[in-house]
Amino acid sequence: MPPVVVRQAGPADLEVIVPLFDGYRQFYGQPSERDRVRGFLKERLAQGDSVLLIAEADGLALGFTQLYPSFSSVSMARIFILNDLFVRPEARRSGVARLLLDAAVRHGREAGAIRLSLSTALTNTAAQALYAAAGWERDEVFCVYHFTVHQAPLTTSGNAEQV
């Protein structure tokens, strides 16, 4: 495989990221909704409210990760939530996911964050093994709960988020 480069994506990368993000959602059982994905990502990139890192080799997008900035009230410091990580199936087990994780950590350090956090499906044992091998520690102290406030409508408007 040619050398893989990880860089921060910008608005000009929208069409390159759309199929990756759509594939990510399908991995988690969601239907393909490229128009809705496009709208969602366009808004994230335009508002700068997330950081999208993309991995490429020879001009081909192989994967991405998306970080959302947040804060720890207890520490009174910046943190990032690594919300999404996806590598196209044909590029898996080639080190791309590890490169994306490493780039996310670098970004967090450069931004002055004290922590990055992520969650994954309990059944996604391959991802769990990767995270452990990369030095991420599984939380054994806190339970995570969710409360669905609003179920996003199944439209192509691009401004509703699937919960």
Range 5-133: architecture per CATH = 3-Layer(aba) Sandwich (3.40)
- Taking only the tens place, the pLDDT of each residue in 85-100 is 999 999 999 999 999 9
- Which tokens go with 25? 């959602």
Note whether 156 and 36 are within 8 A (CB).
Answer: yes
Give the rounded percent of residues in the chain with a pLDDT score beyond 70: 93
Tokens of 110: 């450069």
Name the helix (H) or strand (E) containing 83: strand 77-87
Asked if the model's pLDDT at residue 161 lies above 70, the reply is no
Residues 128-151: tens digit of each pLDDT? 999 999 999 999 999 989 899 977
**44-62 pLDDT per residue, tens:** 999 999 999 999 999 899 9
| Cross-strand partners of 68 | 81
Instruction: Report which of residues 129 and 155 the model is more confident about.
Output: 129
Q: What's the mean per-residue pLDDT of the chain?
A: 91
Give the residue extent of every domain in the chain.
Answer: 5-133
Number of Cβ within a 10 Å radius of residue 145: 5
Q: What pLDDT does 162 receive?
A: 37
pTM of the complete model = 0.88
